[in-house]
Structure 1
Amino acid sequence: MNKILIIGAGHAGGSVAALLRQYGHEGPIVLAGEEASPPYQRPPLSKAWLKGEATGEGLLLRPESFYAEQGIELRTGVTAMAIDRDGKRVRFADGTDERYDVLVLATGSTARRLAIPGADRPDLLELRTLDDAEQLKAALQPGRRLAVVGGGYVGLEAGASARSLGVEVVVLERMDRVLARVASETLSRFFTYLHRAHGVEIRTGVEVSAFEDGGVRLADGSLVAADAVLVGVGGMACDTLAVGAGLTCDNGVVVDETARTSDPSIYAIGDMTSRPMPVYGGRMARLESVPNALEQAKQAAAAITGRPGPVPEVPWFWSDQYDVKLQIAGLPTGADRQLVRGDPAGGPFAVFHLAGDRIVCVEAVNAPADFMGGRQLIARATPVDAVKLADPAVSMKAVAL
């Protein structure tokens, strides 16, 4: 029976291993990851874990006993170094190697580093792994000051958690608004107001020139004093193995709708991939999200076991900050206008991105019905009446033309 080797024991890797058994694969499965822990959930790291509201066992995707019960060999703390595609083997840093019939790459993404003096300081913090979260958690003592470099979702979530622990927070963003790369201006304004209302200092349009003892040096020469510095300026696909093996890569490992790479014996899933988006005409995108990891795990497991592939999903994301839940469905690809439903200043609201009379993306703040309704309308490419859509008194079911 085919032996399946999975490199990367994160959310994607752990999920595809379980799905392979669920879908009927009876051959050997080896799940190998760099971290010491079995597969765990990463979204709580910036929220519940930092605030002490989650346990290590509660983070696990499945109990550790699950893998032995399912006949899945779990190898933790091992680093894959090279893929021998001709010999169908993977070499590890500890000198061992593993044979495979089918290889699944699920190595995720890594934090982007700034090319400035001090960027290699050991005391700089990032937030990608459980170990990272533990270091950040230890630094969040009441009365201390945290500088967050980068006004993206992870930085803002960590900043919100830090404030709840009595830590002073300053967010430094080089663009003219937070979330500039990933959200509408309406959403940026809302979260800027929200964080400032909770005592966070947000500084936009500032350039970081160096990391030093005592804080962050800006391009204008000033020093932003801080006891700890968290850098969150985006992620890059962990595609070193794939590049070394000669697989096609372009902002991640290029895969098809079954998660198969340019080598028919190798699949890739999760943050590390550049994948087609059927809902958007096959446009290629690299998505860093749990829903994306799960969808691609289903695609790969189905293809490997000969089952029909899953129905293509509308990509979706979420973020929890203070008592606010943000839910996003879709991508603003091809949008020519935006429409706000509700009141960003005083209650639940949603920002709809439209291309003609069709919704392509919705950003919903404490508005789950708008999120769910928008997601369904995106999936069906249903034309909508913009006047009805702008009226919160009209149900999402009634906005379709």
Structure 2
Amino acid sequence: MAQDQSTSTGPDLIQGIALADLPDGGKLVGRCGDDQVLLVRRGAEVFAVSATCTHYGGPLVDGLVADDTVRCPWHHACFDLRTGEALRTPAFNPLACWAVEQRDGRIFVGEKLKRTARKPRPGSSGQVPEKIVIMGGGAAGFAAAEMLRREQFQGSIVMLSDDQSPPVDRPNLSKDYLAGKAPEDWIPLRGEKFYAKNNIELRLNTEAVHVDARSRQVVLADGGRIPYDRLLLATGAEPVRLSVPGAEKPHVRMLRSFADCKEIIARAAAARHAVVLGASFIGLEVAASLRARAIDVHVVAPEKRPMERILGPQMGDFIRALHEEHGVVFHLEQTLSSIEGGTVRLSGGSTLAADLVVAGIGVRPRTGLAEKAGLVVDRGVAVDAFLETSGPGIFAAGDIARWPDPLSGENIRVEHWVVAERQGQAAALNMLGHREKFVAVPFFWSQHYDVPINYVGHAERWDEIAVEGDVAARDCLLRFKRAGRMLAAASIFRDVESLEAEVAMERAVPI
């Protein structure tokens, strides 16, 4: 959640500071008028940029400088120190930059630099497309459209979404917004004017039923056809639906869309007892958000320990204890048998009061259109290192894409928001012919009450968890290793170490 950074503190950088006060590799926050400015020294050069991340306002002085970039400690956005450009999501907006002058052993910050439109990068191969269609209105689809226009692509962009809302900041739906701590205007990734201003044709409530790869057309449910030169499949995942008696009752909800979240909030206003099905990150974030609304929450899940498959036993025990400290009651190694009025019956035979039931029992990738189009599908849509499918000119990104991970050497599919955004950006560049491999290290964050958990990398299997610090004390970094090689790291309040682990994994990737 963004914090108020409006109070200007630190030295007056217009009046200057001694060069010796900023050692090589050092960071310092000062003020230029009403603006907070971050100074970063890299050898003989000094850069001056906005002090806070443009995503949620994270303090960049607490982040990591790597090469000529600065990375946010909260959610790993990355910015170019020379231009301010947001190089990696979840930030899209650039940082402001200021002129810097060195004289007489002092550093002076001058005027704020005027931002100029980015020049298209050279080196594209093949014919530049004229018509690009993006199927999906989530993280990957939005990021692709935004990057296409950032790259000065002048052709047509049509975004097709079966949702009723423009692309939204979905992670917030289970976190601050559901908890009642974030305003509604935080939720859209961009306002409606953004699409018109950038000539992006966003078609909501639109269902596509077929991809005609031979004629390069998308066929809509109403019979309409949309031609494309390049196509991005970013159809995401859909929740696994409950199949027990009573699952159709109106107080039984799932959380995927903005409308879903609003419905849960509306029902939570009168609810006293909630049952959350599933001890996944989403399920437990929902549990925490409902507790923030003073609702009694019971969590029902088939596993012995929450999140053990992803985070291991120590972190799983910690997460359970954290939620129990806040009043959540767990019913593990159980499933739901039926929903009967205002109660639910568990597989063990017991019953629980439930004015509200929220099911978070998993999602499955929406690969139906890819299968019908004859694309290779293997537990997701198979793509190459450039995110191109087996169909020429057809790319895939986000929850549906299974890509070759250079770190593990395996083909993986990841259902993380930031991964989807970064893949959307990479797919956009490759649709324009830039041939840039997708090598970003996966990242996600989760929020449980006042405890954030950051996770970088991807470890489906490991043979060692190296623990640094104290998990129970909420000060730790866990490295997940296989054959001595770090594949992922999870952390609590070890932001810089998390960023350092991310950089280490990036640099371990063979070029």
**Fold-level similarity (TM above 0.5):** yes
**Aligned residue for 2:205?**
77
**Aligned residue for 1:300?**
427
Q: Distance in 2 between matches of 1:142 and 1:77?
A: 30
Following superposition of structure 1 onto structure 2, how do residues 106-117 of structure 1 map, counting pairs within 5 Å?
106-117=234-245
**Aligned residue for 2:295?**
167
CA contact (8 A) 1:31 1:73 kept: yes
- Greater shift in the superposed pair: 21-30 or 146-155: 21-30
- Is 1:36 aligned to residue 164 of structure 2? yes
- Is 1:215 aligned to residue 343 of structure 2? yes
Q: Distance in 1 between matches of 2:266 and 2:174?
A: 13
Q: Distance in 1 between matches of 2:444 and 2:235?
A: 20
CA contact (8 A) 1:141 1:166 kept: no
- Is 1:335 aligned to residue 462 of structure 2? yes
Secondary structure, aligned partner of 2:389? coil
Q: Distance in 2 between matches of 1:21 and 1:190?
A: 44
Q: Distance in 2 between matches of 1:373 and 1:235?
A: 31
**Aligned residue for 1:227?**
355
Larger strand percent: 2
**Aligned residue for 2:97?**
none
Q: Distance in 2 between matches of 1:159 and 1:369?
A: 28
User: Quick one: structure 1 residues 121 and 97, their matched pair in 2 at CA, closer, same or farther if it must change by over 3 Å?
Assistant: farther
CA contact (8 A) 1:23 1:305 kept: no
Q: C-alpha displacement at 1:144, in angstroms?
A: 0.7
Following superposition of structure 1 onto structure 2, how do residues 7-46 of structure 1 map, counting pairs within 5 Å?
7-46=135-174
Q: C-alpha displacement at 1:295, in angstroms?
A: 2.0
- Greater shift in the superposed pair: 311-320 or 90-99: 90-99
User: Quick one: structure 1 residues 305 and 22, their matched pair in 2 at CA, closer, same or farther if it must change by over 3 Å?
Assistant: same
Task: Give the partner amino acid of 1:124.
Answer: V
Task: Give the partner amino acid of 2:264.
Answer: L
Task: Give the partner amino acid of 1:367.
Answer: R
**Aligned residue for 2:392?**
264
Following superposition of structure 1 onto structure 2, how do residues 135-146 of structure 1 map, counting pairs within 5 Å?
135-141=263-269, 144-146=272-274
Q: C-alpha displacement at 1:262, in angstroms?
A: 0.9
TM-score, normalisation: structure 2: 0.71
CA contact (8 A) 2:308 2:315 kept: no
Secondary structure, aligned partner of 1:182? helix
User: Quick one: structure 1 residues 88 and 39, their matched pair in 2 at CA, closer, same or farther if it must change by over 3 Å?
Assistant: same
Task: Give the partner amino acid of 1:205.
Answer: E
**Aligned residue for 2:193?**
65
Q: Distance in 1 between matches of 2:227 and 2:342?
A: 49
Following superposition of structure 1 onto structure 2, how do residues 99-138 of structure 1 map, counting pairs within 5 Å?
99-138=227-266
Q: C-alpha displacement at 1:43, in angstroms?
A: 0.1
**Aligned residue for 2:4?**
none
**Aligned residue for 1:396?**
none
**Aligned residue for 1:90?**
218
Secondary structure, aligned partner of 2:211? strand
Count of residue pairs brought into register by the alignment = 381
Q: Distance in 1 between matches of 2:262 and 2:501?
A: 37
1:63-97 deviation per Cα after TM superposition (whole angstroms, max 9, x unaligned)? 21111111211111111111122222212223322
Q: Distance in 1 between matches of 2:332 and 2:297?
A: 14
1:150-188 deviation per Cα after TM superposition (whole angstroms, max 9, x unaligned)? 000001001001111100000011011111332211111
- Greater shift in the superposed pair: 298-307 or 8-17: 298-307
- Is 1:52 aligned to residue 180 of structure 2? yes
CA contact (8 A) 2:175 2:285 kept: yes
- Is 1:324 aligned to residue 451 of structure 2? yes
- Greater shift in the superposed pair: 122-131 or 109-118: 109-118
Query: Structure 1, unaligned stretches of length 5 or more?
Result: 383-401
Q: Distance in 2 between matches of 1:85 and 1:275?
A: 21
1:166-215 deviation per Cα after TM superposition (whole angstroms, max 9, x unaligned)? 00000011011111332211111001000000000012111222233223
- Greater shift in the superposed pair: 194-203 or 243-252: 243-252
Task: Give the partner amino acid of 2:284.
Answer: L
Task: Give the partner amino acid of 2:463.
Answer: D
TM-score, normalisation: structure 1: 0.90
Task: Give the partner amino acid of 1:159.
Answer: A
Q: Distance in 1 between matches of 2:338 and 2:161?
A: 33
CA contact (8 A) 1:258 1:296 kept: no
Q: C-alpha displacement at 1:356, in angstroms?
A: 4.0
Secondary structure, aligned partner of 2:178? coil
Secondary structure, aligned partner of 1:155? helix
Secondary structure, aligned partner of 1:50? helix
Identity %: 35
Q: Distance in 2 between matches of 1:380 and 1:335?
A: 20
Task: Give the partner amino acid of 1:346.
Answer: A
Secondary structure, aligned partner of 1:279? coil
Q: Distance in 1 between matches of 2:130 and 2:506?
A: 36
Q: C-alpha displacement at 1:223, in angstroms?
A: 1.7
Q: Distance in 1 between matches of 2:415 and 2:460?
A: 17
Q: Distance in 2 between matches of 1:304 and 1:143?
A: 48
Match of 2:376 among 221, 227, 248: 248
Q: C-alpha displacement at 1:143, in angstroms?
A: 6.2
Larger helix percent: 1
Q: Distance in 1 between matches of 2:402 and 2:323?
A: 33
User: Quick one: structure 1 residues 65 and 9, their matched pair in 2 at CA, closer, same or farther if it must change by over 3 Å?
Assistant: same
User: Quick one: structure 1 residues 213 and 339, their matched pair in 2 at CA, closer, same or farther if it must change by over 3 Å?
Assistant: same
Q: C-alpha displacement at 1:308, in angstroms?
A: 4.5
Secondary structure, aligned partner of 1:326? strand
Q: Distance in 2 between matches of 1:165 and 1:140?
A: 8
1:113-149 deviation per Cα after TM superposition (whole angstroms, max 9, x unaligned)? 2443333444321111001101111122376111001
User: Quick one: structure 1 residues 88 and 356, their matched pair in 2 at CA, closer, same or farther if it must change by over 3 Å?
Assistant: closer
Secondary structure, aligned partner of 1:211? strand
Q: Distance in 1 between matches of 2:240 and 2:456?
A: 25
Secondary structure, aligned partner of 1:183? helix
Q: Distance in 2 between matches of 1:244 and 1:215?
A: 41
Q: Distance in 2 between matches of 1:377 and 1:73?
A: 40
Secondary structure, aligned partner of 2:256? coil
Q: Distance in 2 between matches of 1:145 and 1:300?
A: 44
Task: Give the partner amino acid of 1:313.
Answer: A
CA contact (8 A) 2:271 2:355 kept: no
- Is 1:154 aligned to residue 282 of structure 2? yes
